[in-house]
Amino acid sequence: MSSTPPTASISLTVAPGNAKRSAGEGDTPEPTALYAKREPVYPKLVHGEFRRIKWAIMIVALGIYYGLPWLRWDRGPSVPDQAVLLDFEHQRLFFLSLDIWAQEFYFVTAILILSALALFLVTAVAGRVWCGYACPQTVWTDLMIAVERLWQGDRNARIRLAKAPWSFDTVWRTTGTHVSWLVIAFFTGGALVFYFRDAPTLLSEFWNFSAPAIAYIFLAVFTASTYLLGGLAREQVCIYMCPWPRIQGAMFDAESLLISYRGYRGEPRGPHKKGDSWEGRGDCIDCKQCVVVCPTGIDIRNGPQLECIQCALCIDACDEIMGKIGRPKKLIAYDTFRNLDAASHGDRAPLRLIRPRTMLYAGAFLLVLSITLFGLSRKTILDVNIVPDRNPLFVQLADGSIRNGYTLRIINKRHEARACDISVSGIPGASLRILGAGTPQNLTEIKPDEVRSIKVYVTVPKLSADQIAASSALAFTIRDRGDGTLAARQTNFRGPER
């Protein structure tokens, strides 16, 4: 096998009955179908190490997803106490003790970059393990298939039910399946809505039919999408809708651990009867158990494929068969391209986790993480934004002094009220007046977690105004009267052209 993962190819499928007639009949041949009809996939239940891992991850992931909105976190009397809250109404994100304001959205960008780099690193080491175990599409598809199996039975029973004519047994089993899927989808959508508003409050509003209309709209959208993607589309999402299968090939190298069929051990394959010799043949008995347990319906024996999500259920199925026929396990296993190529020559190499590709991804991850942590350590709890008046840029008063107007947006990120003094510097003699407040010392307090807009005027006397340029630097300083916290911002003071 080549050390480079094979690329997927697209072929045209001729629909039945569309075969071209012999020349001379005079009829125009029917068009060739560009897309083959979907073949339903009915994964068989398998028992083994990787199936138990998938069950465990599914339970933990669903537990976190459904339970996290109900986790409380005390932030003070005036702030929501939900541990994880996407408070779009007030333009803030809460995650335990971390608050991210709209002005700090770059932290969210950093988290997304870290997630992408972590995914690149994991993929370079062990393929699409995220897809096979922890991706929301995989988790909910596993849950939907488990529910389907509960109502309709395992693989063979579901296939028979799909082919059977409509009857009472067919109707109640199919109806029970879809109703259960809708219930799961409803609670899934409901749980997601709770991340955007205080969960107990929103639940009470739902029961009283007093919740905001947007909450009901998004509940319906999330319910429908979960039912469609997890219950109906299933593997089609992973194969056609998700872009990651097309990108993942760039993350692999000859040392990446992928689910692999060890053809050097399994070939030539064929049925085997008890008591027959194993001389001159491989260990694969062509039972196709690796195919019937695959949630995307592929045959791993055909080599690496775009559709493979690295769930390893085919390993469990093959190991079970190998145990029954008395052959060594791991005919299908996690292995590298390098070892698959070298196995027939007895030149297997140990797994190398540290190599240029993984070092690159890990280094980039650590760099972004360091920058993010540094930014969090410098995160301010008092900030100010300044918006100069544009019309007019300045006003020349009767005594020759120049006045500029500004709007200060003071952001109090503390969960308690604070009072601040405002001062200006940078231009000799500049004086500050807060509209409606007289002097800066009369500034009223800023409420907890408030963004307060204040209109101010800065006046420069004639003597100083005659000596400064048409645009001069001016600095505003906001000082907390209590703990002395400072927030400074520089802007420009405008005057006539000299």
Q: Mind listing the pLDDT tens digit of every residue in the chain (498 residues)?
A: 444 444 333 333 333 333 334 344 455 656 666 666 778 899 999 999 999 999 999 999 999 999 999 999 988 777 788 999 998 887 889 998 888 888 888 899 999 999 999 999 999 998 889 999 999 999 999 999 999 999 999 999 999 999 999 999 999 999 999 999 999 999 998 899 999 999 999 999 998 889 899 999 999 999 999 999 999 999 999 988 998 888 888 888 888 889 999 988 898 999 988 888 888 889 999 999 999 999 999 999 998 888 999 999 999 999 999 999 999 999 999 988 888 876 655 677 788 888 999 999 999 999 999 999 999 888 888 888 899 998 888 998 988 899 999 999 888 887 778 888 888 988 888 888 888 765 555 566 788 878 888 889 999 998 888 888 888 899 998 888 877 888 888 999 998 887
Domain boundaries of the chain, sorted by first residue = 41-379, 382-494
Beta strands in 276-394 (DSSP E): 332-335, 382-388
**DSSP string of 23-75?**
TTS-PPPPPPPSSPPP----PPP--SHHHHHHHHHHHHHHHHHHHGGG-B---
pTM for the model: 0.79
- Neighbouring CB atoms inside 10 A of 219's CB total 19
d(CA 230, CA 224): 10
**Fold type of domain 382-494:** Immunoglobulin-like (2.60.40)
Tokens of 95: 């995650």
Work out the angle between the directed axes of helices 155-163 and 136-152 (0-180°, nearest 10): 70
